[in-house]
Structure 1
Amino acid sequence: MTNNFPQALTIAGTDSGGGAGIAADFKTMQERGVFATMVVVAVTAQNTLGVQDALPMPPKLIDEQCASLAADLKIRACKTGMLADPTRVTAVVKNLQKYDFGPVTVDPVMIAKGGAKLLSDDAIATVRDQLLPLASLVTPNLPEAEELAGMKIQTEADMITVGKLLQGMGVKNVLVKGGHFASADEANDFVLLENGHNFWLTAKRIPTHNTHGTGDTISACITAELAKGKSMEEAIRIGKVYVEATIKDGINVGHGHGPLNHWAQIGGDQDEI
């Protein structure tokens, strides 16, 4: 029975404020009934008001964390988050090529909710050229999708175009999140699957500033569902429903962009919506 329990991995940065990064990933995976593990790529001094400082981990320590997990646990799915700079991205890519941690979800974290840059400009090309071809899924928001695809997104038709461009870079499945369309009454996300099937996920926009960690949360939920054996489409749909619930059933913490309510319930048990 050893290692039969679903296990997932987050390769990302910490958030001392507890709302995003590895903290959000752990809370989400725990809520979805999956054992969470981590590889710390960077440590941040961070709260709901912003990021005050950050320190990337030495590549050797990233290597050793990955080796330690691979030697003992059976990771069934993994995700990446904050990767800081080209050196750290390259280290993560090397380890994902070396070890089988299951399907890889890439959350291309570039800018924190408070505006701080979490991925250097020169690292974006490294993510695009080296990490995306390893990804089973990429989950950019609109600014991140624009950076990766090299085009402006002004309409939902542009989201479709970007989805196809990203898939052309080697990513099997794409989730382009449309939450940054400021005037929309709904948050519409575009999904393009490996088999060519595409669809939109729609949720009514909830008026709140407490959205810190939404990108981490939806990608972590998808990763957890994949670790449980869900199909990619099922995992993405559950992720959308879950993150909507964490915003709708919100909590008030801090003085800036507050965190989500990660123990929000979405009905049924942890294997059903």
Structure 2
Amino acid sequence: MTSIVTVAENASGFEIFPTDIEIFKRQLDSLNDIAFDAIKIGLLPSIEIADLTLRFIQQHQDISVILDPVLVFKENKDEEMSLMTAKMLEFLPYVTVITPNLREAEMLAGLTITTVSDMKAAATVLSALGSRHMVIKGGSRLDKHFARDLYADGVVSREFVKPIVARNNNGAGCTFASAVASNLAHGASVLTAVKQSKEFVYQAILNSNDYGVFQLLP
């Protein structure tokens, strides 16, 4: 666990508390004798925690590593985002898949993205920087009716498109990256893992219940 997050009662914001660095070191050390098939990396709240995480995955290059580079949230200052963006670039050669949203892809690639062509250009840059596989998540910024994600591996690219469902979509990006990790751990190819994960998240949102509403089963 890299941090503890608290949400305000009125859900107007949240606070991020990084895990004490010594505790985080002990958490990583506790994994030395545990066999696992995939690693999913999400929010890394400090450079110190990011450094330790990078060293850890450098020692586990025999398994799939999925990086969801959580760079953009309002609590983050511009200077902190710049430092963390530079650190995330160091991860690229050591991760199997990176799953940035549009804003994160813009920061990592140093480009403005407003079209699918721009997404492909960003993917080319990230590939040159060492990324093996990536999924740039378009969300609703490119098209208010369809969520367009771009998969690329430096050779081929493929779009995955689903209708936007305006409900219960908080955490969709994190869930998607976790699903990719789970599919890879079960032996799926990266492209298949991405396809299955996109469908899984879409179905989860589509079939979700409204927050705070309980259904009585017969």
TM (norm. structure 2) is 0.88
* Deviation for aligned residue 1:51: 4.1
Secondary structure of 1:43 counterpart: strand
User: How many Å separate the matches in 2 of 1:95 and 1:116?
Assistant: 27
State the identity %.
24
Report the Cα distance in structure 2 between the residues aligned to 1:124 and 1:190, rounded to whole angstroms.
Answer: 20
Residue in structure 2 matching 1:200, options 159, 172, 196: 159
SS in 2 for 1:70: coil
Instruction: State how far apart, in whole Å, the 1-side matches of 2:132 and 2:59 are.
Output: 20
Mean Cα displacement is larger for which, 171-180 or 245-254?
Answer: 245-254
Report the equivalent of 1:230: 188
Matched residue, 2:32: 70
Structure 1, gaps ≥5 residues long: 1-39, 255-273
The counterpart of 2:123, out of the listed 155, 158, 163, is 163
Asked which structure has the greater RCO (Cα within 8 Å, sep 6+), the reply is 1
Q: Report the equivalent of 1:139.
A: 99
Amino acid at match of 2:165: I
Q: 1:89 to 1:50 in 2, by over 3 A?
A: farther
SS across alignment from 1:69:
coil
* Deviation at residue 183 of structure 1 after TM alignment: 4.0
In 2: Cα distance, 1:59 partner to 1:135 partner:
23
Structure 2 equivalent of residue 216 of structure 1 = 174
Q: Structure 2 matches for 1:241-252, cutoff 5 A?
A: 241-252=199-210
Question: Which one-letter code corresponds to 1:217 in the other structure?
Answer: T
Give aligned pairs, total: 209
Distance 2:77 2:205 in 1: 23
User: In the alignment, which residue of structure 2 is the partner of 1:240?
Assistant: 198
Moved more, 56-65 or 133-142: 56-65
| SS of equivalent to 2:32 | helix
Q: Please say if 1:54 is aligned against 2:16.
A: yes
Give the distance between the partners of 1:99 and 1:84, measured in 2 at CA.
22
Deviation at 1:145, TM superposition (A): 0.6
Equivalence for 2:151: 191
RMSD: 2.1
Give the residue type in structure 1 aligned to 2:18: P
1:81·1:106 contact (CA, 8 Å) conserved in 2?
Answer: yes
Cα 1:212–1:70 shift into 2, 3 Å: same
Counterpart residue type for residue 93 of structure 1: L
Q: Deviations over 1:20-39 (max 9, x none)?
A: xxxxxxxxxxxxxxxxxxxx
Q: How does 1:35-114 map to 2 (within 5 A)?
A: 40-46=1-7, 49-71=11-33, 73-99=34-60, 102-112=63-73
Q: Deviations over 1:53-97 (max 9, x none)?
A: 2211233322221221221x2111111100012111111111112
Query: CA, structure 1 residues 118+199, in 2 after alignment: closer, same or farther (shift >3 Å)?
Result: farther
Contact 1:189 1:202 survives alignment (8 Å): yes
CA deviation map 1:190-231 (0-9, x unaligned): 11125x1221101011133x2110110000000001111111
Structure 1 residue runs of 4 or more that deviate by more than 4 Å after TM superposition: none
Q: 1:75 to 1:109 in 2, by over 3 A?
A: same
Question: How far, CA to CA, are the matches of 1:158 and 1:99 in structure 2?
Answer: 33
